[in-house]
Amino acid sequence: MSADGTILVTGGSRGIGAATATLLADQGHRVVIVDIAPEPLVGTTAILWPAPFDVASESAVVTGIADIEKAHGPITGLVNAAGVFGKMHTIERVRMEQWDREVNIDLRGTFLVARSVGIGMAKRRHGAIVNVASVAGMTSGPIHAYTAAKAGVIQITQTLAAEWGRSGVRVNAVSPGFTRTAALEAGIASGALNKDLLARPTAMNRLVEPMEVAQAIAWLLSPQSSGVTGINLPVDAGYIVGTTWAAYGGLPHAPAS
């Protein structure tokens, strides 16, 4: 990622995308955010692309990337944070239109944007891409399209890393655990999710903060990770390592102070 280039953040108006765009802008990078429902980030220098950006539309992505680079210069860093969370249903209640929406945005959209930006990076022989996957793509749960889509994001990250490695482009993924975004908080407030049940299996006994995911993304974009490509980095407060301990009586309590 070049210091004088542009970093594009999809889904940048909210959630992990907004946290990442804010952090990168605070670090002095030129950051452009796009979103299907674009809203500016208050108190940052991140640049809002004012037109709605539909990551699932090939024509919209190709045209949008060309217009953004024409206005703001070559994109040297990309954060694919646009996504929708899955609907929790038993398998017989999964509606295919909902499945298609989640897969189109979470998987197809990630691929379309990565391809459109990465081809230019490969021609310039420099760039870094971070795709936002999920621990849901590494485990199982009643969010059938979402788990499949995020597993696909992890796989295409590996493939694109191999495809473009010799062209100087690094491609990595982060897999957040349950992260305290506005969408998750709304799910907790509605009763659809239980905060204690989300936190209890984690080794650290808590949810992940959006800025913690942003910091991992910033590192993967930076020269400090120059030898890293094709990895999937869980940022999950120990969710993956903690879940299996229930079979052995649960995680140990912290010692009394």
Which domains are delineated in the chain?
A: 6-248 (3.40.50.720)
Of 53, 146, 178, 239, which residue is the catalytic one?
A: 146
C-alpha separations of 172 from 7, 60, 220 in Å = 15, 24, 7
pLDDT exceeds cutoff 60 at 3: no
Compute the average pLDDT of residues 215-226: 98
Strands 47-48 and 75-80: unpaired
Least trusted range by pLDDT, from 95-99, 102-106, 167-171, 221-225:
95-99
Q: With bands split at pLDDT 50, 70 and 90, how would you rate the model's confidence at 2?
A: very low
d(CA 142, CA 146): 9
Give pLDDT tens digits for 192-220. 889 999 999 999 999 999 999 999 999 99
pLDDT exceeds cutoff 80 at 24: yes
Burial 155-172 (b: 16+ CB within 10 A, else e): ebbbebbeebeeeebbbb
Q: What is the pTM of this model?
A: 0.95
Annotated catalytic residue 239: no
pLDDT exceeds cutoff 60 at 93: yes
Q: With bands split at pLDDT 50, 70 and 90, how would you rate the model's confidence at 256?
A: confident
131 has which bridge partners?
80, 173
Compute the average pLDDT of residues 110-123: 98
